[in-house]
Amino acid sequence: MKVLVVGRGGREHALCEKAAASPLVEKVYAAPGNPGMAACAELLPYNEKDHRLLVTWAQQERVGLVIIGPEQPLMEGLADCFSDAGIPVFAPSSRAAQIEGSKSFSKELMEKYGIPTAKYRVFDDFVLAQEYVKQLDMPAVVKADGLAAGKGVVIAHTKEETVGALREMLMENRFGPASAKVVIEEFMAGEEFSLMALVNGELVVPLELAQDHKRAFDGDLGPNTGGMGAYSPVSQIPAEAAAQAVEQILEPVAKAMVREGIPFTGVLYAGLMLTAQGPKVIEFNARFGDPETQVILPRLESDLIQVIFEVLAGRRPELKWSSQAMAGVVLASRGYPDTCAEGVPLPAFQEEDGVGDVHIYYSGVCQTEDGLVSKGGRVYLAGCLGDSLGEAREKVYAFLDRYRQPELFYRTDIGKKAVSQ
Ligand code: AMP
Ligand code: GLY
């Protein structure tokens, strides 16, 4: 069978690698992919926006399964195009993807079905929003309603800061139409974790937990980014809390979507906070997380493609997980998440340097005659499995020490808190 993965980052690299390892798969294609993943996927000259070209190509090639990585094409209806053409696709329709694409949609859904999340109000009027702030306890959280590449969230510690964030979003169009509407919500204190599940209608198959590190610098300092590293499993989240999150959050949400007439198919990702009252939802995503996928899939011993087909057929697959832990550290260009340098030559990792043991998942890279060079923000993720998270961390940081480059930076504390607890 031929498998098509849509997207171009580290998440898609990990998906291509896992798909290529399946005995069911004869060939993996990535659209557009990136040159760093060329060893496991053939790159297609189409991008995430070429809906019609992608569908025509997939029909001609008799593609057996399509997996869509990023959120934007989901919102734009790419999964609908494949399913209308009768091509099996593991991704939600554009209507179902609203659970990520519109924060007000997902908050209203959670409110209606009693799913635990922060208290909130939605505003499109600056004056009314400003008035509401007067009665709030601080800190408060201000979120652009639509997609803002993970950057549309402000945790405001004072009322002035809250109003400032509201002014930027509602009056100054900071995120364009994505911030024409905002959600103001209660701040939740606790441990944050990511729980993804393979979903088809009411069938919910949870994956193991991971934890992302969203801030740019060590100690959770600096601006929010797309994610600077992750690890899995997350030992500081008790198994009961994970089970509670499946029973009280993922399963009821999947049911709610069916009840609303917009059943969800694909990966439902819950960004959760373990609060004193149990797990509560920070956000939903309608896709695999990045960089969580890069530390979860290498731990999955089952055949991902077979598992996805089981789920698409409405059957619950048995997932087998490695008992090993994985730590993944993102290498980003200096300046990220703002403007950063490009064109930095990347090391040609050598087998004898232990690369065989290290998973490298590329994202912002391009190919030159002399090898891969960086292209923009996050460049690659290096990840290692270990018998413990401590061992996984030691392995990955020892490796990165050998390849230090002044033009790239990485956090040195990925998974550190989990090890010292
Ligand atoms: P989001 O884009 O919704 O995932 O938010 C980005 C980050 O802001 C999250 O990963 C959390 O660390 C933080 N955050 C968002 N909402 C809340 C909240 N209600 N309480 C505390 N932290 C939050
Ligand atoms: N790691 C956060 C995300 O994928 O949105």
User: Mind listing the pLDDT tens digit for each residue in 278-330?
Assistant: 999 999 999 999 999 999 999 999 999 999 999 999 999 999 999 999 999 99
Whether 339 maps to a domain, the answer reads yes
User: Mind listing the pLDDT tens digit for each residue in 179-214?
Assistant: 788 989 999 999 999 999 999 999 999 999 999 999
Residue 118 Cβ contacting ligand 1 at under 6 Å: yes
Token readout for 372 is 């891969």
Q: How far apart are CA 24 and CA 272, in angstroms?
A: 34
**Whether residues 86 and 144 fall in one domain:** no
Task: Give ligand 2 pocket residues (Cβ under 6 A).
Answer: 150, 212, 227, 285, 289-290, 292
Whether 174 maps to a domain, the answer reads yes
Ligand 2 centre and the CA of 31: distance in Å? 20
Q: How far apart are CA 141 and CA 36, in angstroms?
A: 37
**Residues of the domain holding 377:** 325-420
**Alpha carbon 16 to its chain's center:** 16
Whether 298 maps to a domain, the answer reads yes
Beta-sheet pairing, 140-144 with 182-186: antiparallel
Q: What percent of the chain has pLDDT over 90?
A: 86
pTM: 0.94
Q: How far apart are CA 44 and CA 65, in angstroms?
A: 16
Confidence of residue 153 (pLDDT cuts 50, 70, 90): confident
N residues, the chain: 421
CA-nearest residue, atom 7 of ligand 1: 153
* DSSP secondary structure, 349-388, as one string: --GGGTGGGEEEEE-SEEEETTEEEE-SSEEEEEEEEESS
Q: Is the pLDDT of residue 150 over 70?
A: no
Q: What percent of the chain has pLDDT over 70?
A: 98
Structure-model confidence comparison of residues 244 and 355, the more confident one: 244
In 165-239, the DSSP E strands lie at 182-186, 191-200, 203-206, 211-212, 215-217, 221-224, 229-232
Q: Which of 149-158, 159-168, 219-228, 231-240 has the lowest mean pLDDT?
A: 149-158
| Alpha carbon distance, N-terminus to C-terminus of the chain | 45
**Whether residues 298 and 372 fall in one domain:** no
Confidence of residue 45 (pLDDT cuts 50, 70, 90): very high
Whether 359 maps to a domain, the answer reads yes
Note the pLDDT of residue 175.
Answer: 76
Confidence of residue 11 (pLDDT cuts 50, 70, 90): very high
**Whether residues 246 and 203 fall in one domain:** yes
Closest CA to 338 of 215, 228, 230, 223: 223
Which among 180, 198, 224 is the end of a domain? 180
Whether 33 maps to a domain, the answer reads yes
Average pLDDT for the chain: 94
Q: Is the pLDDT of residue 420 over 80?
A: no
Note the pLDDT of residue 179.
Answer: 74
Closest CA to 311 of 219, 185, 203, 383: 203
In the predicted model, what is the mean pLDDT of residues 384-413? 96
In the predicted model, what is the mean pLDDT of residues 111-125? 94
| 151 within 8 A of 168, measured Cβ to Cβ | no
**Whether residues 193 and 303 fall in one domain:** yes
Pocket test for ligand 1, best of 155, 169, 192, 194 (most atoms within 8 A of CB): 155
CA-nearest residue, atom 2 of ligand 1: 150
Which among 312, 343, 365 is the end of a domain? 312
220-to-215, 376, 397, 401, 407 alpha-carbon distances in Å = 5, 22, 18, 21, 21
Token readout for 83 is 């399913």
Q: Which residues contact 362 (CB under 8 A, 6 or more apart)?
A: 10, 13, 34, 35, 36, 37, 372, 379, 380
380-to-6, 138, 155, 331 alpha-carbon distances in Å = 18, 37, 28, 5
CA torsion, points 233, 239, 241, 243, in degrees to nearest 10?
100
Q: What is the CATH number of the domain that holds 352?
A: 3.90.600.10
Which residues are 326's β-sheet partners? 232, 385
Whether 106 maps to a domain, the answer reads no
The enclosing H or E element of 322 equals none
Ligand 1 centre and the CA of 83: distance in Å? 33
CA-nearest residue, atom 16 of ligand 1: 282
Q: What is the CATH number of the domain that holds 35?
A: 3.40.50.20
- What's the total number of domains in the chain? 4
219 φ/ψ angles, rounded to the nearest 5 degrees: 75, 20
Pocket test for ligand 2, best of 15, 68, 194 (most atoms within 8 A of CB): 194
> In the sheet that 191-200 helps form, which strands lie side by side, from edge to edge?
203-206, 191-200, 265-275, 278-285
**Whether residues 176 and 77 fall in one domain:** no
Pocket test for ligand 1, best of 141, 157, 284, 417 (most atoms within 8 A of CB): 141
Token readout for 400 is 């990165």
325 φ/ψ angles, rounded to the nearest 5 degrees: -100, 155
Whether 356 maps to a domain, the answer reads yes
In the predicted model, what is the mean pLDDT of residues 13-26? 98
Whether 222 maps to a domain, the answer reads yes
Q: How far apart are CA 281 and CA 289, in angstroms?
A: 15
Which alpha helices (DSSP H) does 260-373 contain, by range? Answer: 292-296, 304-312
Q: Is the pLDDT of residue 151 over 70?
A: no
**Whether residues 285 and 199 fall in one domain:** yes
Q: Give just the sign of the alpha carbon dihedral 92, 95, 101, 102.
A: negative
Ligand 1 centre and the CA of 177: distance in Å? 21
Beta-sheet pairing, 278-285 with 378-386: unpaired
Q: Which ligand gives the minimal distance to the CA of 70?
A: 2
User: Mind listing the pLDDT tens digit for each residue in 338-386?
Assistant: 888 899 999 988 766 666 789 999 999 999 999 999 998 999 999 999 9
Q: Is the pLDDT of residue 147 over 80?
A: no
**Whether residues 158 and 200 fall in one domain:** no
CA-nearest residue, atom 14 of ligand 1: 282
User: Mind listing the pLDDT tens digit for each residue in 133-145?
Assistant: 999 999 999 988 8
* DSSP secondary structure, 75-93, as one string: HTTHHHHHHHTT--EES--
- The one-letter amino acid code at 203 reads L
Confidence of residue 55 (pLDDT cuts 50, 70, 90): very high
